Amino acid sequence: MKRTAGTGALQSAGSLVILAVLTVYFSATRDGFLDAGNLLSLARQYSELGLVAVGMTLVIAAGGIDISVGGTVGLTGMLLGVLVVHNGWDVLPAAVLALAVAGCVGALNGAAVAYLGMQPVLVTLATMSLTRGAAYVLTGGVSLSGYPDGFTDFAAADLGGTGIPLPAAITGAAFVAGAIVLRRTAFGRAVLACGASPEAAGLSGIRVRRVRFATYLILSLLGGAAGIMLTSRVSTSFADAGRNYEFEAITAVVLGGTSLSGGEASVLGTLAGVCTMAVLRNGLSLAGESDLTRTQMLAAALIAAVLIDNLRRRLTA
């Protein structure tokens, strides 16, 4: 069945509705929700996940999936720690090397899926195990701290005194870039075409395998960047970093209206999805609700978003 690639204004409707409802509700009932400091702090907390979610949107748009990116986040952070804390490297070269390793993981994923033809779930399950295991093996699970102040100040910084956290600004820029790439560039159109119908895309001259490979590479690089950012914010490298990021990113992407089968995607929709998750967590936390309840509500929101999306498809079919 051939689907037309692209996205309609209503596509993100599900997540927008949920986001709007939650925002209004929490503003009215939770003291401290609408506080500027609170929202900026929230933006800072979700910066790393946001980066990963941008990349995940591209991978899913092209018809694939990647459950290994959380492991990449952890591995990158641990590698950075081993180089800087254990071996006295300067932060910048260490970060470049760690990022390169993240790129290698993405290349491995991309090559196995696009060129070897293996199933994405299979490959990324394997690399998830591999990267997470490697992150643990590097120090036997012991976390590393003792970074130079300049590095840890980076994530605590604001954008030129405006109060906007630097990590959030970077992630915001990534979202904007992602949206432009997906909508306005040939690459982005190729990504959507591959997801909608690889055969048709191939016939119209798109190098499907190369495009798919690229999406996995981009996601892992973004994951590596997230790992470095997280390490700076927490001022510690720990092997568990990024755990569950892949599932949270997929949740954000699905909440944002992107189709899991590919071909229909919206980076800004994913942004709405991330915001929804952040707002939900914060609203519940401000009321002292346990982390457990938030997890359940997020699961319910995910199902609700899919059902709304199904309804939309049925109505506009």
Partner 1 sequence: MSDACSRHPVPDPCLAARALSARGAPLFGLMLLLAGGFALGTPGFANPVNLAAISRDAAVIGILGTGLTLVVLAGGIDLSCASVLALSASLMAVLMDRTGSIALPVLACLATAALLGTGNALLVTRLGVPPIVATLATLSLYRVQAMKMVTLISPLPPGFSRLGAGWAAFAVFAAVLTAAALALARTPWGRHVYAAGGNPSALRLSGVSVGATVGWTYVASGLCAGVAALVASATLNSVQGNMFPGYELDAVAAVVLGGTAITGGRGGVAGTALGAGIMAVLRNGLIVAGLDVYWYQAIIGMAILLTGGLDVLISRGRLLRESIR
Partner 2 sequence: MNRLFLVVAAALAAAVPGCARPGGDGAPDGQGRPHVVFIFKVLGIPYADSLKKGADRASRELGMRAELLGPATGNDIQGQINLIEDQIARKVDAIVVSPNDADSVRPALRRAEREGIAVYAWDADASEDARRFYVAGCDDVQIGVDIAERLARDLGGKGKVAIMTGGLTAKNLMLHVEGVRKGLKKYPGITVVEPLLANNDQKDQAIKGAISILQKHPDLAGFACVSSPGAPGVAEALIQTGKAGKVKVWGLSLPSEIREHVKNGVVSGAILWNPADLTFATAYLVKQDLEGQKPRDGQEIPGVGRIRVKGTQVLIPGVVITKDNIDRLDF
The residues of the shown chain that bind partner 2, judged by CB under 8 A, are: 7, 9-13, 16, 20, 23, 27, 32, 34-39, 41-42, 45, 140-143, 145-146, 152, 156, 183, 230, 233-236, 238, 240-241, 243, 266, 268-269, 272, 281-282, 285-286, 288, 290-292, 295
Among 21, 96, 100, 125, binds partner 1 (CB under 8 A): 125
Single residue of 24, 96, 116, 156 touching partner 1 by CB under 8 A: 116
77: which 2 tokens? 């952070």
Choose the one of partner 2, partner 1, none that binds residue 111, judging by a C-beta under 5 to 8 angstroms depending on kind: none
Residue 155 neighbours by CB distance under 10 Å:
21
The entry of partner 1, partner 2, none near residue 137 (CB within 5 to 8 angstroms by kind) is partner 1
In sign, the C-alpha dihedral spanning 94, 95, 100, 104 is: positive
Show the tokens assigned to 187. 């690459």
Residue 292 sits in the site that holds partner 1 (CB under 8 A):
yes
Determine which residue in the list 4, 29, 185, 293 makes contact with partner 1, applying CB under 8 A: 293
Question: Residue 5, exposed/middle/buried by CB under 10 A (0-12, 13-18, 19+)?
Answer: buried
Nearer to partner 2, 113 or 226 (CB): 226
How far apart, in whole angstroms, are the C-alpha atoms of residue 167 and residue 227? 12
> Binding pattern to partner 1, positions 78-97, x when CB under 8 A?
--------------------
| C-alpha to C-alpha distance for 298 and 300, rounded to whole angstroms | 5
Widest CA span in the chain:
60
- Distance in angstroms (rounded) separating the CA atoms of residues 107 and 15: 32
Q: Residue 225 touches which of partner 1, partner 2, none (CB < 5 to 8 A by kind)?
A: none
Report how far residue 141's alpha carbon sits from residue 247's, in angstroms, rounded to the nearest whole number: 22
Of 11-19, 48-56, 112-120, 151-159, which part binds partner 1 (CB under 8 A)?
Answer: 112-120
Site for partner 1 in 49-78 (CB under 8 A): 65
Q: What is the smallest separation between the CB atom of 284 and partner 2, expressed in angstroms?
A: 9
CA distance 191 to 256: 18
Residue 287 makes contact with partner 1 by CB under 8 A: no
128 vs 44: CA distance, rounded Å: 26
Residue whose CB is less far from partner 1, 32 or 141: 141
* Minimum distance of partner 1 from residue 179's CB (angstroms): 23
Of 276, 233, 257, 255, whose CA–CA distance to 73 is shortest?
Answer: 233
Q: Could you say which of partner 2, partner 1, none residue 27 binds, taking C-beta under 5 to 8 angstroms by partner kind?
A: partner 2
Dist CA 317 CA 307 (whole Å): 15
Enumerate residues 6+ apart whose C-beta is below 8 A from 192: 5, 6, 61, 62, 182, 262, 263, 264, 265
The least CB distance from residue 293 to partner 1, in Å, is 8
Size of the site for partner 1 (CB under 8 A): 41
Residue 183 CB contacts under 8 Å (≥ 6 apart), including other chains: none
Q: Is residue 154 at the binding interface for partner 1, with CB under 8 A as the rule? A: no
What does the alpha-carbon distance between residue 12 and residue 266 come to, in Å, rounded to a whole number?
A: 8
Does residue 237 bind partner 1 (CB under 8 A)? no
Task: Give the footprint of partner 1 on this chain (CB under 8 A).
Answer: 65, 112, 116-119, 121-123, 125-134, 136-137, 140-141, 247, 250-251, 254, 260-261, 292-293, 295-296, 298-300, 302-303, 306-307, 310
